[in-house]
């Protein structure tokens, strides 16, 4: 009887006083559900170790923001390089999510196939975005110009055959009793490429339209994340969504107000620097000098009549782009956080705490880019829909001529245009 009682006592439910030890896979960042029951409330205001985790998070945040500012200062190509590095880390974290060491040992070179598809997608995506800027960079060198023109001409077919090579590679490596794992990894790889390159392509397009259109949306997400964390840290009481137990309504509302105000202020500050507002037409690193356009020219706005007479200012000066910034701020504070909720649900489905551990206090790179992905796509669509003139400009036509016509065809077009203009002048006279 005593032995039975001791046995029952020693095999109690994990996580209960006197119970057995919590079992946890070695090297896993999975959070056992029993721990959640013991800890009780997940809100940060009730977390006993919140100040320690806050210091770690702040330390990492300072380093990230400092590095980000340095890269912005260095210019467009460095920002592009940063985006590529982020893509590689995100792909690595997501590739490892469904990786099984036992199966991989029986499939030598199978991981290499994933990266083959990754770099093929990178060549396809960036080749389409940067081809005109590459032409403008080597325009004066005839040999390089001809080489680049040939690359652009056969860019799509090159990427297609690289993909077909990977497809054949995959078929030839299929192994009996491992078909399900291999096809699962094949589908997972393509989903990763869609997730990573959809946002990254839009991000790079925003960069070369003007750093402003990359920097402002990215900064708003950072501000929203920090504000939500701090407000929730000190004042959070009401849970917001079950997918993210530490998110609170207080943090969400406080972050929304902070983000919208920050959008209006930052747009005015960023909009006064040509380095941030001028588009980059080539891949050089020289200083930019351009007409910023009407969006970045200050305008005076009179206050409405209902404003009290004792108010000292009757008009105020703003940049028109600040009104667009309010729309970006509204999206960053209300819609973009759902990218984080999606990532939280995704991690719960796979029973992991973070996608990685490369950033102390934050998790992996993917954990920091969940909201940025949603924001980058919106910023590009908003810019193309409401900011870029919809009519075809002379610059656009010239870009198409330089990119798609040979030198002989360009000269023939020039002579034809000269003939048409001469005939019109003769007819008018």
pLDDT band of 269, cuts 50, 70, 90:
very high
Please report which helix (H) or strand (E) contains residue 316, including its range: strand 315-318
pLDDT band at 26 (very low <50, low <70, confident <90, very high): very low
Q: What is the mean pLDDT of residues 84-110?
A: 83
Cα 173 from Cα 124, distance rounded (Å): 25
**For residue range 348-396, what is the model confidence (pLDDT) as tens digits?**
888 887 787 777 666 778 887 888 889 999 999 999 999 987 656 677 7
Which of the four pLDDT bands, split at 50, 70 and 90, describes residue 35? very low
3-state secondary structure (DSSP) of residue 363:
strand
Lowest mean pLDDT of 61-70, 135-144, 311-320, 391-400, name the range.
391-400
Query: Could you tell me which of 208, 194, 202 has the C-alpha nearest to residue 78?
Result: 208
Q: Using CA of residue 154, residue 157, residue 159, residue 162, what is the dihedral sign?
A: negative
Report the distance separating Cα 206 and Cα 209, nearest Å: 5
Half-sphere exposure of 141 (CA within 13 A, CB side): 8
Q: Which residue has the higher pLDDT, 109 or 54?
A: 109
Contacts of 281 (CB under 8 A, 6+ apart): 133, 136
Sorted by where each begins, the domain ranges of the chain are 30-394, 395-429
CA distance 134 to 354: 38
Q: What is the DSSP letter of 302?
A: E
Yes or no: say if 117 and 163 are a contact pair by the CB < 8 Å rule. yes
Task: Record the tokens describing residue 238, joined without a space.
Answer: 């009401």
Q: Shortest CA distance to 19 belongs to which of 1, 45, 37?
A: 37
Strands (DSSP E) along 170-312, which ranges? 239-241, 244-248, 299-302
pLDDT at 49: 65
Specify the pTM.
0.76
Q: Between the ranges 20-29, 281-290, 371-380, where is the mean pLDDT highest?
A: 371-380
Q: How many of the other CB atoms lie within 10 Å of CB of 93?
A: 21
Average pLDDT, the chain: 82
Q: Give CA–CA dist 353/364, Å, rounded.
A: 10
Average pLDDT over residues 165-188: 92
The yes-or-no verdict on residue 214 having pLDDT over 50 is yes
Q: What angle do CA 217, 222, 224 make, to 5 degrees?
A: 90
For residue 29, pLDDT over 50 is answered with no
Which of 3-7, 156-160, 194-198, 218-222 is least confident? 3-7
Using alpha carbons, select from 201, 203, 228 the residue that is nearest to residue 216. Answer: 203
Beta-carbon count within 10 A of 237 CB? 13
């Amino acid at each position: 009887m005593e032995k039975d009682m001791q046995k029952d006592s020693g095999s109690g439910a994990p996580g209960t006083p006197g119970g057995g030890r919590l079992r946890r896979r070695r090297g896993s960042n999975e959070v056992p559900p029993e721990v959640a029951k013991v800890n009780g409330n997940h809100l940060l205001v009730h977390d006993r170790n919140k100040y320690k985790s806050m210091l770690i998070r702040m330390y990492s945040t300072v380093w990230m923001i400092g590095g980000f500012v340095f890269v912005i200062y260095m210019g467009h190509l460095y920002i592009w390089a940063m985006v590529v590095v982020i893509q590689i880390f995100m792909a690595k974290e997501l590739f490892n999510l469904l990786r099984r060491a036992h199966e991989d040992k029986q499939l030598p070179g199978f991981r290499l196939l994933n990266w083959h598809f990754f770099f093929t997608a990178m060549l396809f995506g960036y080749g389409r975005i940067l081809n005109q800027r590459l032409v403008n960079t080597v325009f004066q060198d005839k040999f390089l110009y001809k080489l680049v023109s040939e690359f652009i001409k056969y860019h799509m077919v090159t990427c297609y055959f690289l993909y077909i090579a990977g497809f054949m590679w995959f078929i030839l490596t299929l192994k009996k009793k491992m078909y399900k794992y291999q096809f699962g990894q094949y589908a997972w790889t393509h989903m990763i490429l869609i997730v990573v390159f959809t946002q990254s392509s839009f991000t790079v397009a925003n960069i070369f339209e003007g750093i402003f259109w990359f920097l402002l949306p990215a900064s708003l997400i950072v501000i929203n994340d920090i504000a939500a964390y701090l407000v929730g840290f000190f004042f959070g009481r009401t849970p917001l969504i079950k997918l993210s137990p530490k998110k609170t309504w207080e943090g969400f509302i406080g972050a929304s107000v902070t983000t919208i105000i920050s959008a209006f202020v930052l747009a005015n500050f960023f909009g006064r620097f040509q380095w941030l507002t001028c588009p980059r037409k080539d891949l050089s690193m020289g200083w930019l000098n351009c007409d910023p356009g009407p969006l970045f020219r200050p305008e005076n706005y009179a206050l409405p009549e209902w404003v009290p007479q004792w108010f000292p200012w009757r008009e105020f000066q703003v940049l028109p782009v600040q009104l667009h910034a309010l729309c970006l701020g509204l999206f960053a504070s209300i819609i973009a956080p759902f990218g984080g909720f999606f990532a939280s649900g995704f991690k719960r489905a796979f029973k992991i705490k973070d996608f990685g551990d490369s950033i102390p206090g934050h998790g992996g790179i993917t954990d920091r880019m969940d909201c940025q992905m949603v924001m980058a796509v919106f910023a590009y669509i908003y810019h193309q829909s409401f900011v870029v003139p919809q009519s075809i400009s002379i610059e656009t036509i010239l870009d198409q001529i330089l990119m798609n016509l040979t030198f002989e065809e360009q000269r023939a077009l020039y002579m034809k245009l000269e003939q048409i203009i001469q005939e019109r002048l003769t007819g008018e006279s």
